[in-house]
A and B are shown apart, each in its own frame.
Chain A
Amino acid sequence: MADPASRLTPSSDFTFDSDRVAAFLRTLESMAAGQLAERLPISPRGDALDAIAYAINVLVGELSWAEARAKEAQEKKEAQLRAAVASAEVRNGAILRAIPDLMFVMLRDGTYVDYHARDPKQLFVPPDTFIGRNVREVLPPALAEVIMDALERASQTDEPIVVEYDLPIGESRTFEARIVQAGADRLLSIVRDVTESRRASELNRDLARRLIARQEIERKRIARELHDDISQRIALLNIEIDTIAGQVLSEESRARLRALGMKAQELGSDVHHMSYALHPSWLETLGLVAALQALCRDASKQRNLHVTFTHRSIPSSVDPNVSLCLYRIAQEALHNVARHSQTREAHVSVACNADHIALQIADSGVGFNPSDRRSAGLGLASMRERVAVLRGQLAINAAPGAGTQIAVQIPLGSEHPQSAPPSVLSA
């Protein structure tokens, strides 16, 4: 049996020239030291040393190649990222230049971190006096508390919190701030000067208020004319007819005169109803609940409806403007029920709490699509105007085949709308 060690004895295939081996080892050491561009020498012999050299060259070459490809990919990715960032910066810059709004980046504790103002004159105070400072150090105390509350609420929801407030910048100006979350512990407040649009709205509202008031005065005048003059003259006419009927001898003529008297009586009754519809005097004398009750009763009788009425916690004295507004809306809504709903059933309710008075008129008729402009007649527009004048809210819940519900809320004290404090409007 051969000595195992003899198998380790190099054969002639593994006998190499010493200079060649030395060159091989030198290059190998250099490559091991990091000179990866070098390659081990390969002779024309194509022997085992050349095979080993080739294998090592390939491995080092593959390593360099993989590194180069990874570097290329990384550079390409970085270039794309830089391009995307540059593009985003250009786009954001353009957006910022185009937006007239003020923007403030704030911490949840109310500290101003950054801002954008196309026109620095829009700022309440210069930037160096508010960046790094807290809202409470910068804004008037009452407003600061409203903003702090809004920041806290905005940090707990994904929805924007909207705050409207006045600030004395030259003259008193009205701003609307929309506050949203903008990353960890940060909030973005986009502030728009809404002074002009609010003034325009106020002017519109004032105009509507005056138009409605003028319309009511005119209605009242006509109602008085009908009641005090036409109605009385019809009554006198009726008495005259009765008197004549009592004097004629012909039975036939007497019957005809009595029939004429009945018609005059009906005419008087119609004029009376018309007078009441034009100006519900009960509203002034007996109050909102009694007037609405009478309205529902009359609608049931005259329009062949079955209108139920409920009321809760209505004070004996309600502001006349509010009473009239609610009465007119109920009147118009019941008119619509009779004309369009194709049902005879309706329900009217009115209720009051510490903040507002609410009216609801509901029917289970054919309904309609509120977003369909063809459905938006003058009656609904008039309702909206009346409610807007009193800073109330009107909601129409309706759908084809699902009935109609008109809900109105008028804030108490709405007859003095100019004294509204800074407020959180919506979430």
Chain B
Amino acid sequence: MADTETAVIHLSEDGLVIVRIRDGAYQSLEDAKTNLATAVAATAGTRRPLLVDIRTAQPLDADARHHYSGRTLVDSFLALALLVAGNPFGRMMGNVYLRIARPGISTRLFTDERRALEWLIQHRV
């Protein structure tokens, strides 16, 4: 398990990389770089599914959002499950990410973590 200033990141027993953004954390571009690099390190060199829990995170700025959806995401991960809050704001945040950032791997929004993990497990190699 690795801790950064804005996230807790680990590789699960199921072979998924889990990123949980800390409660109320605001992520600058530098934070986004650190978090993504840490998540890539957690893959141990194998492309894996990725769960990002942004249920209690502050909204992302454009720079950070674009960094999260760049080439590194595609090169290191197989699929992305975005765990958002069930309220209108959470859904909006997730949808905006999908619509604007357009990550180059399979991506889905979830409000239920169990279903998110089930979906990700299907994407393991």
Contact = CB atoms under 8 A, between A and B. Distances in A.
Interface of A: 13, 42, 45-48, 50-51, 54-55, 57-58, 61-62, 64-65
B91 A51 contact: yes
A65 to B, nearest CB: 4
B66 A65 contact: yes
B61 A61 contact: yes
A42 B59 CA distance: 9
A45 B91 CA distance: 13
A20 to B, nearest CB: 14
Nearest to B63: A65
A45 B87 CA distance: 8
A46 B58 CA distance: 11
B63 A58 contact: no
Interface of B: 58-59, 61-63, 66, 85, 87-93, 96, 100
A51 B88 contact: yes
A65 B60 CA distance: 12
Given A62-B100, A65-B66, A57 B59 contact: yes
Contacts of B66: 65
Nearest to B24: A44
Contacts of A47: 87-89
Contacts of A64: 62
A51 B85 CA distance: 12
A171 B18 CA distance: 91
Contact of A46 (B61, B88, B96, B100): B88
B96 A48 contact: no
Contacts of A50: 87-89
A48 B62 CA distance: 21
Given A62-B100, A65-B66, A46 B89 contact: yes
A46 B24 CA distance: 12
Contacts of B58: 42
28 contacts: A13-B88, A42-B58, A42-B59, A42-B89, A45-B87, A45-B89, A46-B88, A46-B89, A47-B87, A47-B88, A51-B88, A51-B89, A51-B91, A51-B92, A54-B59, A54-B92, A54-B93, A55-B92, A55-B96, A57-B59, A58-B62, A58-B100, A61-B62, A62-B62, A62-B100, A64-B62, A65-B62, A65-B66
Given A46-B89, A54-B59, A58-B62, 19 more contacts: A13-B88, A42-B59, A42-B89, A45-B87, A45-B89, A46-B85, A46-B90, A50-B87, A50-B88, A50-B89, A51-B91, A51-B92, A54-B92, A54-B93, A58-B59, A61-B61, A61-B62, A64-B62, A65-B63
Contacts of A55: 92, 96
A42 B100 CA distance: 20
Nearest to B58: A42
A58 B96 contact: yes
B98 to A, nearest CB: 12
A13 B87 CA distance: 11
Contacts of B92: 51, 54-55
Contacts of B93: 54
A48 B88 contact: yes
B68 to A, nearest CB: 13
Nearest to A43: B89
Contacts of B87: 45-47, 50-51
Contacts of B59: 42, 54, 57-58
A54 B91 CA distance: 11
B85 A54 contact: no
Contacts of B61: 61
A54 B89 contact: yes
A36 to B, nearest CB: 11
Given A42-B89, A46-B88, A54 B62 contact: no
A210 to B, nearest CB: 80
A310 B66 CA distance: 88
A48 B91 CA distance: 10
Contacts of A54: 59, 89, 92-93, 96
Pick from B66, B90, B93 the residue with the most CB of A within 10 Å.
Answer: B93
A277 B89 CA distance: 113
A263 to B, nearest CB: 102
Contacts of A51: 87-89, 91-92
Residue of B58, B88, B89, B90 most packed against chain A (CB within 10 A): B89
B23 to A, nearest CB: 10
Nearest to A58: B96
A60 B85 CA distance: 23
Nearest to A62: B62
Nearest to A64: B62
A13 B61 CA distance: 26
Closest 7 CB pairs of A and B: A65-B62, A46-B87, A46-B89, A51-B92, A50-B89, A51-B88, A61-B62
Contacts of A65: 62-63, 66
A64 B91 CA distance: 23
Contacts of B62: 58, 61-62, 64-65
